[in-house]
Structure 1
Amino acid sequence: MSSLALSAAEEGGFQPPTISETHLPEIFPWMEPWGEGFGKNMLMVILAVVLIAFLFMWAIRKQALVPSRAQFLAESGYGFARNTLGRDILGEKHFKPWVPLLFTVFFFVLFNNIFGAIPFLQMPTFSHAGPAYAMAAIIWITWVVLGFRLHSVKFVRLMTVPSGVPKWILPLLVPIEFISNFLIRPMTHSLRLMAVMLAGHIIVMLAGSGAEFLITQQEGIANTGLGIVVLLGSIPLYFLELLMMVLQAFIFALLTAIYIQSSIEADAH
C-alpha cells in the first residue's frame, strides 16, 4: 500500500483498492512451502472446465435435426470457432485438425474472463499473471513444436530471416526477429490478456468502493448524491468490462490461430 493510501486510511479518508486485494487468501495453503496454495483462482479454472464440458454436453444431448435453443447456441459457438477462427485463418486445407484447440482456447478464456462479471465470483481468472503465462506458454510450445515438425531446424531461419532483405542488414535484423518471435511473442500474448482483465477489474473495484465510501462514510446530501452518481456511472463501466472480456477471448484465440498458421505456412513467403 502506498504512503498516500496509508495516510488517507489513518485520517478516515477514502482508501482505494490495491492490486493485492485482488489476490484472495488461499482456500487450502497446502503448497505453501513450494509456492502459493490452492486459491479461488485455481478453483475457478477447474470450474470453467466443468462448466464448459457440462453446458455443451447438455446442449447437444438430444442432437435433434431441428435444434433446441440450447443446441442452436452450442452449435453456433462451435461454428464460430470452426469457421471464423479455423477455416478463415488456417485455410480450407489445414483448419480441421486445429478446430478442437481453437474451440477450447476461445471458450476457456471466455468463461474465465466472464467470471469477473458474475456476482460473488467477481474475479476474472486471467487478471492474474500466472494463468495468462500458462495459457500463452501452451500456445507458444504448440507453435514451436509444429514449426519444427513441419520444417525441422529450418523453422528458425524461416522465422528470423525475412525474404527479400539485403544480406548486409541481416546481422542486425536476425537477432531482432529472433527476440521478437521466440521471446517477446509469448510475453505479449499473455500480458495483453492479463493487463486488460486486471485494468477492468481494478476500475470496477475503484468505482464500487468510491461509491460506497461517499454514500456510507461521508456526511451531507451532496456527497451521497455524488456517490449515487458514481454508482450509476459504474454500470456502463461494468458493461464495458463485459465487452472487453469477450473481445479479449476472441483476440487471444485469433492470435493462436495466426501463430499456428505462421508455422504451417512458414516457407510460403
Structure 2
Amino acid sequence: MGSVSDAMLLAAESGPHLPSVSDFLPPEILFEGTPFAINRIILVRLVATVIMLTVLIITARRAKVIPGRWQAAVEWLLDYIRDNIIYQVMGPIRGRRYVPMITTIFMTVFIFNLCGIIPGMNIAATASVVMPLAFALWVFVQYWRAGIKEHGLGGFLKEELLPAGVPWPIYIILTPVQLLELVLIRPISLTVRLFANMVAGHLLVATCYAFTQFYLIESAGAAVKVGGALWLCGGLVFTCFEMFVAALQAYVFAILATVYINQSYPEAE
C-alpha cells in the first residue's frame, strides 16, 4: 500500500498530463526500424478492421429471411447508406456501381472514428493524416476515372479547366484556380475536414479528463476540486458528443465523396 500511496502522491505533485500533438505521432511498438513498423495508431486500425470484418462476416453468415434485431440494425444502416447517400445523389442506375465503395468508406470511417472513445484504444484511427488522405485519394482516382471514361482525357480536362460560358480573358485567372482545385484543393479539403475534426475532438476529451486526475483530489483546494468534478462532467458530455461527431464525419465524408464522383458525369440521369 505504501508504494501505491507514494505513486499517487507523485502524480499529485506532477500535475495532469495534458494531451498534445505528439500524441498523434506515437513511437513504433512493433517491428521497429523495418518497413513494417507499427505504432499505436496503426495497431488500432488493424484491430478495428479485424473486429469490423469479423462482425460483418458473422452477421452475413447467420443472416435469416426474418432478421433478428442485430441483423435488422445492420441492414438498416446499409440501406440508409445506399438509399439516402448514394442513390439520393447519383440515382439508382449510376449509383449502383458505387455502393460497395461508398459503403466501405462510410463504415470504415465511422468505426475508425469511434476508436477515440473505446477504452483501450482511446485514439481515433483517423486522427493522423495518412488514413483520411488515403480515402480522399481513392475518391479522386474514381472521380478522374469516371470523368475520363465519360468525356475522354481531353474532354474531361476541358470541362474542368475551361468551364463554358466564361469570357476568354477570365480563363487566364480561372484555369490555374480550377487546376489547383482539381488536383489539390478538393482532396486536401476532404482530408483535412476529417483529420482536423478527429484530432480536435480527441484533444478536447483528453484535456477534460486530464483535469480530473488524482492531483485535484489530493492537492487542490475545495474550489478546484469542484472544478475538477465539472471537468469530469464535461469529459462525459464531450465523449457522447464525439460519438455523434464520429457518425456525422462519416456521413459528410461519404456524401462529399458521392457528390464529387457524380460531378465527373454529364447531367444526372
User: Scaled by the length of structure 1, what TM-score is found?
Assistant: 0.87
- Structure 2 counterpart of 1:26, from 8, 25, 28: 28
Q: Is the 8 A contact 2:15 2:215 kept in 1?
A: no
In 1, Cα distance between the equivalents of 2:27 and 2:217? 27
In 2, Cα distance between the equivalents of 1:219 and 1:192? 39
Matched, 1:126 2:126: yes
Cα-to-partner distance string for 1:210-244 (whole Å, 9 max, x where unaligned): 22165245332222222111111221111112111
SS in 2 for 1:95: helix
Residue 216 of structure 2: aligned partner: 215
Matched, 1:136 2:132: no
Q: Is the 8 A contact 2:162 2:175 kept in 1?
A: yes
The equivalences for 1:74-223 within 5 A come to: 74-153=74-153, 154-212=155-213, 215-216=216-217, 218-223=219-224
Amino acid at match of 1:124: A
Give the gaps of 5 or more residues in structure 2: 1-12
Residue 66 of structure 1: aligned partner: 66
Q: Is the 8 A contact 1:146 1:263 kept in 2?
A: yes
CA RMSD of aligned residues (A): 2.2
User: Closer, same or farther in 2 for the Cα pair 1:208/1:188, shift >3 Å?
Assistant: same
Amino acid at match of 2:86: G
SS in 1 for 2:211: helix
Amino acid at match of 1:184: I
In 1, Cα distance between the equivalents of 2:101 and 2:114? 20
In 2, Cα distance between the equivalents of 1:228 and 1:82? 43
Q: Is the 8 A contact 1:16 1:206 kept in 2?
A: yes
Q: Is the 8 A contact 1:214 1:224 kept in 2?
A: no
Task: Give the paired residue count.
Answer: 256
Residue 42 of structure 1: aligned partner: 42
Cα-to-partner distance string for 1:71-104 (whole Å, 9 max, x where unaligned): 1011111101211121111112201111000110
In 2, Cα distance between the equivalents of 1:17 and 1:64? 46
**Stretch of structure 1 that moved more, 15-24 or 249-258:** 15-24
Q: Which has the higher contact order (CA 8 A, sep 6+)?
A: 2
In 1, Cα distance between the equivalents of 2:114 and 2:102? 18
In 1, Cα distance between the equivalents of 2:17 and 2:115? 25
Identity over aligned pairs, percent: 26
SS in 2 for 1:190: helix
Shift of 1:138: 1.6
In 1, Cα distance between the equivalents of 2:86 and 2:24? 35
Amino acid at match of 1:54: T
Q: Is the 8 A contact 1:113 1:197 kept in 2?
A: yes
Q: Is the 8 A contact 2:132 2:191 kept in 1?
A: yes
Shift of 1:59: 2.0
Amino acid at match of 1:254: I
Q: Is the 8 A contact 1:44 1:125 kept in 2?
A: yes
SS in 2 for 1:94: helix
**Stretch of structure 1 that moved more, 41-50 or 228-237:** 41-50
